[in-house]
Amino acid sequence: MLLKDRVAVITGGAGINGLGFATARLMVQHGARVVLLDLERADPAAAAARLGAGHLGIVADVTDKASCEAAVKRVLENYARIDVLVNNAGITQPRKTVDITAQDYDAVLDVSLRGTLYMSQAVIPAMQRQRGGSIVCISSVSAQRGGGILGGPHYSAAKAGVLGLARAMARELGIDQIRVNSITPGLIQTDISKGKLTEERKAEIAESIPLARLGEADDVAGACLYLASDLSSYCTGITLDVNGGMLIH
């Protein structure tokens, strides 16, 4: 029970096959009360109900600062504290550099990078009052290797920005005992990648990975649990690769 009686907020968490929901499910198993934030069409309340009693789903848009603040206010009204934030919300687009429009750029950067900032800003005051907390930011191996399998260069830029933001927050907030760390998943089999790769292409990619398989959502969930819990109490500002060895260098 690594998170007994702690409150964890997970953005983009309502997709049943996604990283956020897998993380929520594992955190519930370790005693956490979980709040799933997502857009209305994702029905976060229904997703939270699947976790069992005592958990909450809130409609929120991480690109809207007021929406983030309203969501955090509701969490505090229900649970009086926030111990963990997982900045998981993100979108991707398969674009070549010259094909990225202003609208494409804004859409991807707003969710992954602006959303990480706005949600972190919203929870930090509560964590400061508590003198502690853990913020986990989901980046991507594409931020490190200069491009991924599915996302365009603007996705890599957004996820690289997440790494820089997380490190800067870690440096600033350490005095408040707030830890900020990042995870860089490789190719994880979720709804985002579903139907976009043939079985042959998946096999080719797996052959290039030292662990010889694509990742599962639960692989990332385990890393989130580690960074959220006291097992990582002396870790801040780190980037934890969860990619089967794809980025050994």
Instruction: Identify the H or E element spanning 34.
Output: strand 33-38
Q: Which amino acid is at 36?
A: L
118 is catalytic: no
Instruction: Identify the H or E element spanning 87.
Output: strand 84-87
Q: What is the DSSP secondary structure assignment for residue 42, as one 8-state letter?
A: G
Task: Determine the 3-state secondary structure of 203 from DSSP.
Answer: helix
Instruction: Identify the H or E element spanning 164.
Output: helix 153-173
- The answer to whether the CB of 181 falls within 8 A of the CB of 201 is no
Catalytic residue among 105, 155, 226, 234: 155
Task: Determine the 3-state secondary structure of 8 from DSSP.
Answer: strand
Closest-CA residue to 35 (of 53, 13, 15):
13
Beta strands in the chain (DSSP E): 7-11, 33-38, 56-59, 84-87, 133-138, 178-185, 239-242
Q: How far apart are the first and last CA of the chain?
A: 35
d(CA 77, CA 79): 6
Catalytic annotation, residues? 155
